[in-house]
Amino acid sequence: MAERLFPGGTSTVVLCSGNPSQAGAVQLGQALATKMSGVLLLTENSQHIGAETLQALSDMTVPQVAPTGTIQPFQPQPGKPTVYIVGDDSAISVKIQDRLTQMGYQVTRISGSAHEIRTQILNIVAPAIPQGLDASSFPSSWTMNEGASNHESFFPVSSTAPAWMKQGVSWNFAEQAAVPLNASFPDLANLGPRNAPVKLTQYLGNALGVTAVNGVIYAESDDYHLYALNAQTGALIWQVGPLNNSLMGDPIVSGNVVYVTTGDTGFSFSQVLKYQLCGGTALLVRGLLYSSLYAFNATTGIMLWRQDFRGNAMPTPILYNNTVYEPTGGGNLWALNAQSGALVWKTALGGFDSMSSPNLYVNPSTKQAPIILGTSDANHVVAVNAVTGAIEWVQPTTLNIFNTGMGDNSPAVDQANGVVIKDSVVNFDMANKTTDLAVYAMNADTGNILWSTDLGRGSAPPAYKSGMALIQNGVVYVGSPVTSMLYALDEFTGKILWTFSFANSGPAGAGRGNAVLAYGVLWIAAGPTIYAVNPTNGQELGTYTPGGRFGIVNPVIVGGTMYLGNSYDWIQAIPLSKIYPGVNLS
């Protein structure tokens, strides 16, 4: 059984007594093994481990299947498993423990009275929810992508906030498929430096940023799990998974409920063939595996409801007026009751949504709030009435859009001025494989184009090809993975004010995630590096390279700490002063 379940070995083995009188300990051992994705083995008796068990334990060693130093995703580190012995000396003797230690196994014994053993294992399997998390300056909810319609994820703290909030904390949390932060890109030899880094963002680590609510950091990962961490310490509060597909957004949190979506980037060959044979008139569906919107209890991680979709559900949903909205790779915008998950309405968009997370604009006069998003094939920007599901306007644009264009990029909205900002790769040149990135501004009420600006040509980047925009103080800050540069544009004219180049971006390009403006400094994670930039002139103020790589990740700043997800499947907390020692946090 062990060989069939764990043909490649495992990092954890739980050892219990085979004595029938120890049945209670065996049940606890099963729970511990399940929690640690390990295997349960039984001794022959209290004094002897037994030849069969010893052989099975030997078979659990993770083999060295790649050259030393090579990192392979979703493959446990080579070596012998850690052995957890459940029971006191009368159940499993010290002689067995000593023998295992001499054989090179790391052994941890969980012992004591029956009640003490049960308590220790329960603290591992289902740790108590921490009480009294200091959330005085954290957002109390997170209802849309990036936490704000203009994509500004900065939350200053009060003068009475605790020191750790004001000065910043530092920690790293390894998720289920974490790759060492100092390792080169996994599968670099096969994929090359252009495709290996984006493969991480699409299939292994954190695609977007995290969510910070009530002293908790919530994070989605391509490793099929959702995590909730203590914002101060990085300690795991709970995790759920594996779910039915990759999680590529940032969690929505409101009213003690966490909403997340699952999806993937694939197209089936039959879908593409059908689309081509009909000359592009049939709906092209994106997504190969199962896709869903889940609702979980924010305190415990217990699932409340789930809605399944046709096509991917990669975008971050948006919550408005007790309704959760999610566009899908099946070409629909779904409106679901936030409490029950019941369908309110469903609207066909005329094209599939890839990664374009919906936004909204609240008209100050009419109080109407259309849901705004992008679609691919057709490459349009669409506004949908949040109450009725009726389409209010469609902007097809006249730009020569390339690839999944509109359906990939998430719009930023300036509520005060009624401006929508989006961007897309355009004008692809088949001969030299170059493209441009165009930024365009639209009227939020009508969809009319206000201006468009081409940022510059470069090699067509792999995977996600756009840059997420930030709108602040009449300026649009947006990166371009085409040129691996950050741009500042006048929000009302589109004029380029200054540019900044990302170093060490590599052939995959950098500048997909949006910047955040905090303490008079522009902060952005691009490629392997976090940058602090002067927002007025684009001059570099500081840098920090924490290991790993950043995909479409935006920094989330609370007080003096930057929280990030990493494509290497880590969640990180970094003091701003480590990135730019000269930052004034007052």
Tens of pLDDT, residues 404-440:
677 788 999 999 999 999 998 888 888 888 998 999 9
268 lies in the same domain as 299: yes
Residues 347 and 206 in one domain: yes
Q: Is the model's pLDDT at 188 over the cut of 90?
A: no
pLDDT tens track for 511-567:
999 999 999 999 999 999 999 999 999 999 999 999 999 999 999 999 999 999 999
CA dihedral 318, 446, 311, 554 (to 10 degrees): -50
Higher-confidence position of 129 and 230: 230
**CA dist., res. 296 & res. 256, Å (int):** 9
CA distance 419 to 200: 34
Q: Which of 90, 125, 160 is the last residue of a domain?
A: 125
Q: Could you tell me if 172 and 570 are in contact, meaning their C-beta atoms sit under 8 angstroms apart?
A: yes
Q: How confident is the model at residue 44 (pLDDT cuts 50, 70, 90)?
A: very high
Question: 3 pLDDT band (50/70/90 cuts)?
Answer: very low
Instruction: Report which of 350, 308, 315, 344 is spatially closest to residue 331, judged by C-alpha positions.
Output: 350
Q: Are residue 121 and residue 175 in the same domain, yes or no? A: no
Note whether 114 and 136 are within 8 A (CB).
Answer: no
Which residue range(s) make up the domain with 75?
2-125
Closest CA to 249 of 319, 310, 300: 319
Distance CA(419)–CA(444), nearest Å, equals: 5
117 and 199 fall within a common domain: no
User: CATH no. for residue 460?
Assistant: 2.130.10.10
Q: Which two tokens stand for residue 493?
A: 């004219």
Q: Are residues 121 and 151 in the same domain?
A: no
Res. 2: pLDDT tops 50: no
**Which residue do the tokens 């500048």 mark?**
511
Q: Which residues fall within 8 angstroms of residue 168, CB to CB, at 6 or more apart?
A: 559, 560, 561, 562, 573, 574, 575, 576, 577, 578, 585
Place of tokens 């699952």: 262
Helix (H, G, I), strand (E, B) or coil at 178: coil
Average pLDDT, the chain: 92
Q: Taking 90 as the threshold, does the pLDDT of residue 361 lie above it?
A: yes
160 and 199 share one domain: yes
One domain for residues 426 and 285: yes
More confident residue, 188 or 216: 216
Instruction: Indicate if the pLDDT at residue 165 is higher than 50.
Output: yes
> Per-residue confidence at 280, pLDDT binned at 50, 70, 90?
confident
**Is position 586 within any domain?**
no
Q: What is the mean pLDDT of residues 487-496?
A: 98
Both tokens assigned to 472: 């602040």
| pLDDT at res. 377 | 78
Residue 210 lies in a domain: yes
Tell me: do 192 and 92 sit in the same domain. no
Contact 223, 176 (CB under 8 A): yes
Say which residue the tokens 């909810």 belong to: 141
Other CB atoms within 10 Å distance of the CB of residue 54: 18
Would you say residue 134 lies in a domain? Answer: no
Domains in the chain, number: 2
Q: Is position 240 within any domain?
A: yes
**pTM, full prediction:** 0.92
- State the pLDDT confidence band at 378, using cuts at 50, 70 and 90: confident
Residue 140 domain-assigned (yes or no):
no
Residue 331: pLDDT above 90? yes
The pLDDT value recorded for residue 1 is: 31
Most confident of 126-140, 229-243, 280-294: 229-243
> Do residues 46 and 76 both lie within one domain?
yes
Question: What share of the chain in percent tops pLDDT 70?
Answer: 98
**Structure-model confidence comparison of residues 282 and 106, the more confident one:** 106
Domain assignment present for 131: no
